[in-house]
C-alpha cells in the first residue's frame, strides 16, 4: 500500500495549502499526546498525497475531483429530525456531536462521550486505543481525517454487558452553503471482553460539493460480539469516503452489513484484523448504483492469528451509467494456520452503460488453510425469468421480483427490524413492487 505522490511539486503544495486552514491552531486545547498524533497524520498526508496515479488500491476509483476542489470545513448546523424507532441515539452533524445522549436505563453498561468529554474524562482509554486501528500511515484519507476531525463519538461497552437496544449513530451532512464543504465524522467503539452490542450508522444529507471523510474504529476485546450496520443514503452527488477498521481479539465475533444507496463517489472500506484465535467475522455488503454513481467497496481481512474464520458476501446492482467496484483481499499471515476464509462477490449488471470492476484477492502465507473466493458478473437468469413468466407474471414484474430477491438475500440478514423494513420498502418501491410495510399493516392484528 504505497500512496502515489502527487504529480508535481506544484500540485502537492496546492494540496497542502488547501488543507492547512483545517488544521491551523485549531486543536490547542487537546492533550499533547493527541495533538502529536494529529501532527503526525498531517505529515503522513503530506507525504502520501492523494492516490492519483498507479496506486493499485485506487485503480478503479479516481479521486481527481477531490484533489481539484478547494474544500471548506462544513459549518455548524442544526440537528435533523430523529427517526422514531427506539435506540440509544447519537447525532453527528457535519462532523460534530449534537446534544446529549440519553441512555439512563443502560448507564451501567455503556458510556458514550463526545471528543472533548472523552479526552477530559477518559484520557487513559484514548491513549490506549485511540487511532490505533486506523491505517492512517498508509491511507491518505484516514490521515486526512485524523488530522482534521472536529469531534468524535467514543463508545465504551463494559465487560460482559449486553446492550439490547441498538446504538444508532446518525451522521448527517448538512449542505447549507454553496461552497464545497467537507466534514470528518470519527467514531471509536470499544467492546470490552464478553460484551455484546449492535451498532447502526446511518449517513444522510449531503449534496453537490459535499465530502464526507470518515473513520470508524471498532475494537472487540476477547469474546465480544458486535453487529455493525452502515446504511449510506446521502445525496447522490456527495463524495463519501469512509474507512471502518476493526480489530478482533480471541473469540470475538463481528458481523458487518454495509448498504450503499446514495452518494456520487462512494468508497466504503472495511478492514478487519483477526488478531486472536477463534475470531470470526462476517462481512455482508449491498450496493445499488444508478445514474452516474460510483460505488467502491474495499475490504481487507487480515488473518493474523490461527483458527479464525471469515465469511464475506458482497452484492451489487448496477443500472444506467453506474460504476461498481469491488476489492476484497484476504491476507493470511505466516502462522495463521486453520484459517477458513470464504469470499463471494456478485454483481448484477442491468445496463450496457454501467461498468463493474471486481478484484478479489487471496494472499496466503500459511499452508493449512482453506480459502476460497468467487466472483460473478452477469444479468438476470433467463430460466428464472421464464419460470416466472410461465406463471403469468409479466416480464417487467418478473425482472423486478428477481432483482428484489437478489438484494433481499443481504437485506434479510439485517436483524434490526426498523432498518430492515426501511430498506425493504426502498427496494420494493424502486422495483415498483407492493410495499412490505403495506402488507405488514394488513397482516397485523
Partner 1 sequence: MPTDTATITQLTQREYEWGFYTEIEEEKVPKGLNEEIIRTISRIKGEPNWLLEWRLRAFRHWLTMEEPRWWPNIKYSRIDYQDIHYYAAPKRRKALSSLDEVDPEIRRTFERLGIPLEEQKRLAGVAVDAVFDSVSVATTYKEKLKELGIIFCSFSEAVREYPDLVRQYLGSVVPYNDNFFAALNSAVFSDGSFVYVPPGVRCPMELSTYFRINARETGQFERTLIIADRGSYVSYLEGCTAPMRDENQLHAAVVELIALDDAEIKYSTVQNWYPGDKEGRGGIYNFVTKRGACRGRRSKISWTQVETGSAITWKYPSVILQGDESVGEFYSVAVTNNYQQADTGTKMIHLGRNTRSTIVSKGISAGHGQNTYRGLVKIMKGAAYARNYSQCDSLLIGDKCGAHTMPYIEVRNSTARVEHEASTSKIGEDQIFYCRQRGLSTEDAVNMIVNGFCKQVLLNLPMEFAVEAQKLLGISLEGSVG
Q: Give the position of cell 486453520.
A: 338
Residues 209-268 that bind partner 1 (CB under 8 A): none
Rounded distance, CA 330 to CA 359, Å?
A: 11
Judged by CB under 8 A, does residue 359 bind partner 1? yes
Among residues 73, 123, 165, 371, the one that binds partner 1 under rule CB under 8 A: 371
CB-based contact 223:192 (threshold 8 Å): no
Q: Which stretch binds partner 1 (CB under 8 A): 65-73, 241-249, 282-290, 361-369?
A: 361-369
From residue 67, give the alpha-carbon distance in Å to each of 136, 160, 289, 328: 18, 45, 23, 25
Burial class (CB in 10 A: 0-12, 13-18, 19+), 190: buried
We find the least distance from the C-beta atom of residue 335 to partner 1, in angstroms, to be 8
Do the Cβ atoms of 6 and 49 come closer than 8 Å? yes
Stretch that binds partner 1, among 34-42, 135-143, 375-383, 424-432 (CB under 8 A): 375-383
- Residue 267 CB, shortest distance to partner 1, in Å, is 18
Segment interacting with partner 1, rule: CB under 8 A, options 125-133, 206-214, 362-370, 417-425: 362-370
Residues 26-65 as x/- pattern, contact with partner 1 by CB under 8 A: ----------------------------x-x---------
CB of 357 to partner 1, least distance (A): 5
Query: At its nearest, how many Å lie between partner 1 and the CB of residue 409?
Result: 18
Q: Can you tell me which of 39, 64, 370, 440 binds partner 1, judged by CB under 8 A?
A: 370
* Contact with partner 1 (CB under 8 A) among 372, 394, 415, 437: 372
Would you state the torsion angle of the CA atoms of residues 81, 86, 90, 92, taken in this order, to the nearest 10 degrees? -40
Q: Which of 429, 324, 326 has the alpha carbon at shortest distance from 374?
A: 326
Q: Is 363 in the site for partner 1 (CB under 8 A)?
A: yes
Cβ 320 to partner 1, closest distance in Å?
A: 11
Smallest gap from Cβ 363 to partner 1, in A, equals 5
Whole-angstrom Cα distance, residue 38 to residue 54? Answer: 27
Cα–Cα distances in Å, from 71 out to 120, 185, 272, 392? Answer: 30, 16, 30, 54
Q: Kindly indicate which of the ranges 19-27, 73-81, 214-222, 373-381 contains the residues binding partner 1, using the contact rule CB under 8 A.
A: 373-381
Task: Give strand pairing partners of 388.
Answer: none
Q: Which of 52, 213, 356, 410 binds partner 1 (CB under 8 A)?
A: 356
Q: How many residues bind partner 1 (CB under 8 A)?
A: 36
Other C-beta atoms lying within 10 Å of the C-beta of residue 353: 12
Minimum distance of partner 1 from residue 380's CB (angstroms): 10
Give the span between the Cα atoms of 313 and 316, in whole angstroms.
10
Contact predicate 239/210, CB 8 Å: yes
H or E segment and range at residue 68: helix 64-68
Q: Is residue 304 a contact point for partner 1 (CB under 8 A)?
A: no
| Residue 301 interacts with partner 1 (CB under 8 A): yes or no | no
Q: Would you tell me which residues interact with partner 1 (CB under 8 A)? A: 54, 56, 334-335, 337, 347, 349-352, 354-379
Amino acid at each position: 500500500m504505497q500512496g502515489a505522490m502527487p504529480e508535481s511539486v506544484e500540485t502537492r503544495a496546492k494540496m497542502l495549502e488547501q488543507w492547512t486552514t483545517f488544521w491551523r491552531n485549531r486543536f490547542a486545547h487537546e492533550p499533547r499526546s493527541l495533538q502529536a498524533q494529529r501532527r503526525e497524520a498531517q505529515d503522513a498526508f503530506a507525504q502520501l498525497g492523494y492516490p492519483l496515479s498507479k496506486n493499485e488500491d485506487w485503480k478503479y476509483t479516481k479521486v481527481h475531483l477531490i484533489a481539484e476542489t478547494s474544500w471548506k470545513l462544513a459549518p455548524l448546523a442544526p440537528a435533523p429530525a430523529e427517526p422514531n424507532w427506539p435506540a440509544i441515539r447519537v447525532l453527528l452533524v457535519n462532523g460534530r456531536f449534537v446534544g446529549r445522549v440519553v441512555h439512563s436505563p443502560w448507564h451501567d453498561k455503556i458510556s458514550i462521550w463526545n471528543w472533548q468529554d472523552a479526552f477530559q474524562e477518559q484520557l487513559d482509554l484514548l491513549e490506549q486505543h485511540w487511532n490505533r486501528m486506523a491505517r492512517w500511515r498508509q491511507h491518505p484519507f484516514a490521515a486526512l481525517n485524523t488530522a482534521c476531525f472536529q469531534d468524535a463519538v467514543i463508545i465504551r461497552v463494559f465487560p460482559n454487558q449486553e446492550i439490547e437496544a441498538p446504538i444508532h449513530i446518525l451522521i448527517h451532512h448538512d449542505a447549507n452553503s454553496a461552497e464545497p464543504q467537507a466534514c470528518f465524522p470519527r467514531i471509536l467503539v470499544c467492546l470490552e471482553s464478553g460484551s455484546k452490542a449492535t451498532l447502526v450508522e446511518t449517513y444522510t444529507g449531503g449534496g453537490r460539493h459535499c465530502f464526507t471523510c470518515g473513520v470508524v474504529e471498532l475494537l472487540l476485546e476477547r469474546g465480544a460480539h458486535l453487529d455493525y450496520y452502515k446504511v449510506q443514503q446521502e445525496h447522490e452527488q456527495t463524495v463519501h469516503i469512509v474507512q471502518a477498521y476493526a480489530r478482533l481479539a480471541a473469540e470475538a465475533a463481528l458481523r458487518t452489513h454495509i448498504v450503499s444507496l446514495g452518494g456520487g463517489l462512494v468508497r466504503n472500506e472495511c478492514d478487519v484484523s483477526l488478531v486472536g484465535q477463534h475470531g470470526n467475522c462476517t462481512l455482508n455488503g449491498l450496493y445499488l448504483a444508478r445514474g452516474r454513481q460510483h460505488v467502491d467497496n474495499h475490504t481487507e481481512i487480515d488473518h493474523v492469528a490461527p483458527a479464525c474464520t471469515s465469511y464475506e458476501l458482497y452484492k451489487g446492482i448496477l443500472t444506467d451509467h453506474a460504476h461498481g467496484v469491488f476489492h476484497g483481499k484476504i491476507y493470511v499471515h505466516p502462522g495463521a494456520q486453520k484459517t477458513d476464509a470464504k469470499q463471494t462477490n456478485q454483481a448484477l449488471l442491468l445496463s450496457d452503460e454501467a461498468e463493474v470492476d471486481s478484484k478479489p484477492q487471496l494472499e496466503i502465507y500459511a499452508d493449512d488453510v482453506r480459502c476460497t473466493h468467487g466472483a460473478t458478473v452477469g444479468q438476470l437468469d433467463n430460466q428464472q425469468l421464464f419460470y416466472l413468466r410461465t406463471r403469468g407474471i409479466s416480464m417487467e414484474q418478473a425482472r423486478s421480483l428477481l432483482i428484489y430477491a437478489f438484494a433481499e438475500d443481504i437485506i434479510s440478514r439485517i436483524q434490526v427490524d426498523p432498518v430492515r423494513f426501511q430498506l425493504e420498502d426502498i427496494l420494493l418501491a424502486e422495483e415498483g413492487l407492493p410495499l412490505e410495510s403495506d402488507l405488514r399493516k394488513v397482516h397485523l392484528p
